[in-house]
Chain A
């Protein structure tokens, strides 16, 4: 009971801090906070599918890029919220299209397939843009950064609620059963194919909207950058480091990576990626449950 009260108090405190941040911090730190919120939103949405089912997707960059592309194409020709919703639905529709064939394969095949499809989508967009004789699209009159920050905060909260709710639900139990053993999951009555596709589509919506917000912030759409597989790799890293079995993990993972990159990018940029690689390997080998998983395991051990 005491622990629960503590959790609720810290959630409220963190939310208040994020809501108040634009009044307190300067533009630079607001940018860092935006990074953090987008990291949380993206990683939560990844965990909602890949964390729970064990189907490691390297395709999140596609959904992110597709959302950004929709925004770049429609900006100033429709209302902001309409484009944001369209971005989310475009990403979700793409997930439905990709998911149906891709979710038939498991393990390393699924990983490679999602990476391949992601690269394919990138080059399709590049080809379209080349055919339209466009070399990058500039977005004019984009909203105020503080406004975009609040949209991102909303997305981070929504994504956290999505993962939290899904992980606790009957469907979440079904998704975890799929991760453990797909055949056995069928024998206990889990509608395996339906659940996988449903979770994949749900998990694609958020990155679509995040990509759309992000391109408004950078005000420039360039497919190589917005469809870059680095987005997917960063998300997986955050999930592995934070823990991928529920909503708390991604918050720890995103915070860890954003703080680390703030500390190191400026001072030792060459060292940053090396350290990230070492950390990723160490977590996979020694702390596969991630920071949050390890913390709960330690707490349980102390209680027992």
Chain B
């Protein structure tokens, strides 16, 4: 499998503050890559830097054969890199229907958005039931599905997910994880940041462990899950 995204020696943060320190990071095409680590390890900053919400301080990012490190977020979306942000960030006053429509804002996603919306309703039947409801009135799980569907409306090659299970009831989280598998099976590459280490590594093919803005460990997800140090630090076993 080839690499869909390659970040080389990236440094990033907010203003003067540096969070990510010399990070090398690879996402393989067609796989699910998990990023785990404690609070403040730089996982969300990584997602923001990859998607272009914050600028790199230095380093390079290649995506699908292009240098994207200096492109603004909307241009990265135009070539197929979508982020489902932490905390879902739905548009509270938009209906489900309007949200999916604006999800196809990117130029490459504009044609055929109606057919794609119907695919989303097939993938997330609960959204179909609530298509005229305001996004702000949906439950946490429904909002997460909406955020996922909104991300998929842009026809991404790579979907970055920041804490999709945050604040969800365990059953709802399981449902979201099984939907991620279905999305991967449609050929969309996924990179997921999670607090729920067991679920994330159970789902993923490859994993990274972040600590203090640096890659502490990486390897096939199943290997990481078997490591004593991971079990101790993140699973409390």
Contact = CB atoms under 8 A, between A and B. Distances in A.
Contacts of B150: 188
Instruction: Give the size range of B's interface with the partner.
Output: 20 to 34
B83 A187 contact: yes
A186 interface: yes
Contacts of B83: 187
Contacts of A170: 105, 110
B41 interface: no
A191 B73 CA distance: 8
A188 B94 contact: no
A183 B89 contact: yes
A174 B105 CA distance: 8
Contacts of B53: 183, 186-187
Interface in A177-216: 177, 180-181, 183-192
Given A173-B101, A174-B105, A177-B105, A187 B84 contact: yes
B72 A184 contact: no
With a 10 A CB-CB cut-off, give which of A173, A180, A186, A187 has the most chain B CB atoms. A187
Interface in B124-164: 150-151, 153-154
Given A177-B91, A189-B106, A191-B74, A184 B101 contact: no
B85 A184 contact: yes
Contacts, number: 69
B74 A180 contact: no
Interface string B63-107: 000000000111001100011110001111110001001110111
B51 interface: yes
Contacts of A190: 74, 102, 105
A56 to B, nearest CB: 16
B105 A187 contact: no
A174 B101 CA distance: 11
Nearest to B86: A183
Contacts of B154: 188-189
With a 10 A CB-CB cut-off, give which of B82, B84, B102, B107 has the most chain A CB atoms. B102
A191 B51 contact: no
B72 A187 contact: no
Nearest to A177: B102
Contact of A188 (B106, B107, B110): B106
With a 10 A CB-CB cut-off, give which of B53, B105, B109, B154 has the most chain A CB atoms. B105
B89 A184 contact: yes
Nearest to B94: A180
Given A180-B94, A183-B53, A189 B105 contact: yes
A277 B7 CA distance: 56
Contacts of A191: 72, 74
Contacts of A185: 91
B73 A180 contact: no
Nearest to B91: A180
Given A177-B91, A180-B94, A187-B77, 19 more contacts: A170-B110, A176-B102, A177-B94, A177-B105, A183-B53, A183-B85, A184-B90, A184-B91, A186-B52, A186-B53, A186-B73, A187-B83, A187-B151, A188-B153, A188-B154, A189-B105, A189-B107, A190-B74, A191-B72
5 contacts: A170-B110, A177-B102, A181-B91, A181-B92, A190-B74
Nearest 3 Cβ contacts at the A-B interface: A180-B91, A189-B77, A189-B106
Interface of B: 51-53, 72-74, 77-78, 82-85, 89-94, 98, 101-103, 105-107, 109-110, 150-151, 153-154
